[in-house]
Amino acid sequence: MDLLNVTGKFLVAVPGLDDPNFRHSVVLVCEHAGEGAFGLVVNRVLMNSIKPLTEALELEGPVVDFPVYYGGPVKADQGYLLFSPFEERYSAIRINDALGVTASREALLDIVRGKGPSRFIFTLGFSGWMANQLEAELMEDSWLVAPPDLGVIFSAPVADRWRMVGRSIGVDFTRYVGGAGSA
């Protein structure tokens, strides 16, 4: 596996990762390049409804309701839409053939009006790493890397996603022992 580019992959926090921003998190890496990495946590709901934010977001009229996710600790007041299928509109970043991400207000407006992408999650904030930071965390075994799964992102119960992604790569977190041993 190329640890220099995990774009489109899941990062799964190992049980020993005690950072409160990422404990038991699943992060979809949206972009990973030499300058750093950008991703969204896909298994942590901040609010069960966007409706309390409609005034702050200046959304008018009837609104389709959906949960608001915690995307990460960076720019917690900025919204991001992770959506499928990928379309060339909304000034979106293509993660892979099936997924895109955007901070476009137009995309959010389309979704709350029931005209946007069929599958999406809306997050506040994102997860970010400076150049070489994510690679160092991967080498320190803070994260496991797993292939993306649209069912996990858009359909699986949020509380089950961390264990599901672990199982998808053969890891049972109830039996996981991290770190290196010595003989």
The pLDDT tens digits of the residues spanning 5-42 come to 899 999 999 998 989 999 999 999 999 998 999 999 99
pLDDT at 2: 65
pLDDT tens per residue across span 126-155:
999 999 999 999 999 999 999 999 999 999
Task: Decide: pTM greater than 0.85.
Answer: yes
pLDDT tens per residue across span 82-104:
999 888 888 899 999 999 999 99
Kindly state the average pLDDT of the residues 66-90: 92
Closest CA to 13 of 174, 165, 180: 165
pLDDT at 3: 65
Assign a CATH topology to domain 10-168.
VC0467-like (3.40.1740)
Kindly state the average pLDDT of the residues 62-68: 83
Query: DSSP for 99-162?
Result: -EEE--HHHHHHHHTT-S-SEEEEEEEEEEEETTHHHHHHHTTSEEEE---HHHHHTS-GGGHH
